[in-house]
Structure 1
Amino acid sequence: MLLLSTFHWEGGAGVAAARLHQALLNVGVDSHLMVSQISRPGPQTAAWADSPWKSKKAWGNFVLERLSFLPYEKDKSVRFAFSPATVGTDIADHPLVKEASIIHLHWINFGFLSLKSLEKLFALGKPIVWTLHDMWTFTGGCHYNRGCERYLTHCRYCPYLKKPGEYDIAFAQFEKKVALYQNAPLTLISPSQWLDNLVQKAALTNSTPSGTIPNCIDTNFFKPGNRIEARNALGLPVDKKLLLFAGANTQDPRKGFTYFKQAMRSAGLADAEVMILGKGKAENFADMPVKAHFLGKISDMKQMVQAYNAADALIVPSLEDNLPNTIMEAMACGTPAIGFGTGGIPEMIGHLESGFIAESKSAPSLSEGIQWVLKHNTDGTVSEKARKKVLQHYSEEVVARQYSQLYDSLLHGQ
């Protein structure tokens, strides 16, 4: 079993792939993980870039792949939202690929695997499982469609492009994927039912076998802890309600931070303050209507657990998302989540049980959710239900068993 991922313990997709690899090993599956470059050593984990020369080549592939999109991009706000997949690494002859009985793709963009790389992998004839972490697999290049529905028929006139046209690069990539997927031994797995529903509607994938298996989490590591101790460790006040916003890039419009800011302005919570995790600068949050504690990007997982345990609630106003790791992590720590009803978020948060699903793009609804959680969790019942949901649906053993059964069915035709 070989899992392939561009990133290793980085970004939502990279973390999800690494966690699944760990979970598969724990239930006895002979799993191997190959990434472009290793973030930290791990069992049966290999980097394609395992030498200084290959590391330079991996960086060069990333740069070339980005440069190939540069002449077409509408503006720099969409620079990383579209992947042309013109540059990548040929790994078909790699020993791990040759030895694998099943190849399991995760997020493979940004110069790791190109469409040509995928073509050579598919030509090996081995069963291919592809876990989708966004929409790229069935679009002409965008990772999220932002309301465009041309992927349902045929991508063209792409809104991400400077000069959208009938035969633009989205059209060209779509055509290449049509040829690539024809007769490919593919099974598409989505972490959320929302994404699988799109897979079944999309013109590129509506005839491809698909299903839903969520991402997993180590519930022995992400677990409830002492709130006061966690706050003291992070230098946070112990006498305030603390609301957490966590995003890899806090300034990404897709993460909806502006709605959180508006919600805090109207919530009227005199004793509430906010915690902010992710890339950014403290000055970006100077205009928050309440005091903001900017903790920056936290890479240490023990500190992340402290952050979740320090918070009274996690706020996820994402405008587009699949199955956010932050929600899973927070709920595993017994921290309720409040999020917009977008993507797979409503599948994770039990509305008025383990958290609150707010109306999308509505700051007043988000504000209502914050107030509801703070009011109804004084005795910890919402927290208990949040943790229980994760134990039942997202624990390592539950998810690894589902994948193990899928692998067996593909190998033995059951």
Structure 2
Amino acid sequence: MRVVHLNTYHTTGGAAVAAGRLNRALNRFGVDSTLLVQEATYPDANVDALATSFLAQKMAFARFGAERLAFLPYEKDKSVRFQFSPAVTGVDLTFNSVIRQADVLHLHWVNFGFFSVEGLGSLMRLDKPVVWTMHDMWAFTGGCHHSGTCENYQRSCGNCVPFLRRPGPNDLSHSVWQRKQKAYEAAHLVPVGCSEWLANRARKSGLFRPFSVLTIPNPIDTELFRPIDKAAARQALGLPTNRRLILFAAAKVSTVGKGFRYFEQALHQLHAQLENPREVELLIFGAGDKGLLHELPFQYHFLGPLSDMQQISYAYNAADMFVIPSLAENLPNTIMEAMACGTPAVGFTVGGIPEMIQHRESGYLAQYKSADDLSAGMQWLLDLPPNDYAAIAHAARQHVLAHYDEAIVAEQYASLYESLVGGRDLPLL
């Protein structure tokens, strides 16, 4: 059985990381699995790229540009520029040999000029089962990646106040919704939510009403991300061994949705409440404007963007806690990575995060958009006696082993593929 995964990027973004991990996990499990991306960041086993020449790479960038320009006249303002994808440009893989040889097509995040809605429709008509792991809401909305409090996707979109300059019953979101409805008509499609939160939202969408939506989480290599001696991890990164370290990490620190301003507010409150704030320092990694860090009340260690997974594992192990104040999340890889290393997480009660963190058992769930409660969560972990902290760290690791270990997730997907190819009922996942 041959499975082909499709994702826009090879390594950039959470969906790319999750798709790559699943591809590797399936091959280790004995499934013939290939990841097909627009461009490969580096040579990688079982990864194929479409754009292997200079011209093809320029064409891929041109499709991305055309996609953004198509949305420009409609966008509400520049803050939503990358939060809505009309999917008007893309590649046609109908006659691609890798696609033709596949028994199962497995979609992940396919926006920014990789696939148009019509290109997805062409895949759906190839008479092959299609699994779609959703890393955000785009697959079942009229174009937005996260709808927030808007529930128009449950009907047929339209009146898209959060994202469009001129919302109305027949606006761009409604027309994209209709294009998707046509593309999905002949589909042998199984949508999969990485979190139960996302799967439940998908089940309410009019676009996915004909399909059975399953829930399977993203996988993680729990041998790579595992607890190691904290002092050794700090020494490897040149960090102090006599301080409590609070970790913040994001692909881009300044991205509004990552909630850095709530983190900053919470830190100021924490600094005012601590008896000896000099004992606490910050550890931050990710791309973005380092100038944002100058207003933080604690001394910080900025590692910049990290791509080496061993270095990332060291960073999680070096920290006493991981703080994720994101305003919209599905099933964050960062929480999974931190907890796998035995580092408790503090995050807002949003999206799939409450499925990952068990409040005061493996971490702390703060009230949504409450800097006060975020600060309380950090102080709670800092104040724990050593034995109680060790129990929280152990529970975090055990939750990952039980739910997200790559062998468990690979087996779930293999069972799904076999049922689709064999024409059997879908497994109860």
Aligned counterparts of 2:252 and 2:49: Cα–Cα separation in 1? 25
Aligned counterparts of 1:202 and 1:27: Cα–Cα separation in 2? 33
Could you tell which deviates more after superposition, 20-29 or 381-390?
A: 381-390
* 1:313-355 deviation per Cα after TM superposition (whole angstroms, max 9, x unaligned): 0001111100000000011111110111100001011111111
Aligned counterparts of 1:40 and 1:178: Cα–Cα separation in 2? 36
1:402 aligns with 2:412: yes
How far the C-alpha of 1:167 sits from its partner, in A, is 1.5
Aligned to 1:347: 355
Aligned to 1:57: 59
Unmatched tracts of structure 1, length 5 or more: none
How far the C-alpha of 1:229 sits from its partner, in A, is 2.2
Equivalence map 1:357-376=2 (5 Å):
357-376=365-384
Equivalence map 1:259-270=2 (5 Å):
259-267=262-270, 268-269=273-274, 270=277
Q: Secondary structure at the match of 1:209?
A: coil
How far the C-alpha of 1:25 sits from its partner, in A, is 0.1
Contact kept, 8 Å, 2:118 with 2:179, in 1: the verdict is no
Q: Secondary structure at the match of 1:58?
A: helix
Contact kept, 8 Å, 1:200 with 1:207, in 2: the verdict is no
Contact kept, 8 Å, 1:254 with 1:319, in 2: the verdict is yes
Aligned counterparts of 2:213 and 2:156: Cα–Cα separation in 1? 20
Could you tell which deviates more after superposition, 335-344 or 53-62?
A: 53-62
CA RMSD after TM alignment: 1.2
Aligned to 2:427: none
Aligned to 1:98: 100
Aligned counterparts of 1:31 and 1:25: Cα–Cα separation in 2? 6
* 1:209-250 deviation per Cα after TM superposition (whole angstroms, max 9, x unaligned): 111000001111111122122222323222111111111121
Aligned to 1:413: 423
Q: Secondary structure at the match of 1:339?
A: strand
Contact kept, 8 Å, 1:315 with 1:338, in 2: the verdict is yes
Letter paired with 1:192: S
Aligned to 1:211: 214
Aligned to 1:187: 190
* 1:112-165 deviation per Cα after TM superposition (whole angstroms, max 9, x unaligned): 111111111111110000000000011110001122111122211212112222
Question: Could you tell me which of 37, 42, 47 is aligned with 2:39?
Answer: 37
Aligned counterparts of 1:368 and 1:327: Cα–Cα separation in 2? 19
Aligned counterparts of 1:152 and 1:411: Cα–Cα separation in 2? 30
Structure 1 runs of 4+ aligned residues shifted over 6 Å read: none
1:299 aligns with 2:307: yes
Aligned counterparts of 2:107 and 2:30: Cα–Cα separation in 1? 20
Equivalence map 1:209-288=2 (5 Å):
209-267=212-270, 268-269=273-274, 270=277, 271-288=279-296
Aligned to 1:70: 72
Aligned to 2:109: 107
Q: Secondary structure at the match of 2:268?
A: helix
Letter paired with 2:226: K
Aligned counterparts of 1:325 and 1:272: Cα–Cα separation in 2? 25
Letter paired with 2:52: D
Could you tell which deviates more after superposition, 106-115 or 157-166?
A: 157-166
Q: Secondary structure at the match of 1:17?
A: helix
Contact kept, 8 Å, 1:250 with 1:257, in 2: the verdict is yes
How far the C-alpha of 1:281 sits from its partner, in A, is 2.3
Aligned to 1:48: 50
Aligned length: 414
CA 1:172–1:377 in 2, change beyond 3 Å: closer, same or farther? Answer: farther
So what's the TM-score if we normalise by structure 2? 0.94
Aligned counterparts of 1:129 and 1:143: Cα–Cα separation in 2? 19
Unmatched tracts of structure 2, length 5 or more: 425-429
Letter paired with 1:16: A
1:338 aligns with 2:346: yes
Aligned to 1:141: 143
Could you tell which deviates more after superposition, 193-202 or 148-157?
A: 148-157
Contact kept, 8 Å, 2:254 with 2:289, in 1: the verdict is no
So what's the TM-score if we normalise by structure 1? 0.98
Contact kept, 8 Å, 2:228 with 2:341, in 1: the verdict is yes
Contact kept, 8 Å, 1:8 with 1:18, in 2: the verdict is yes
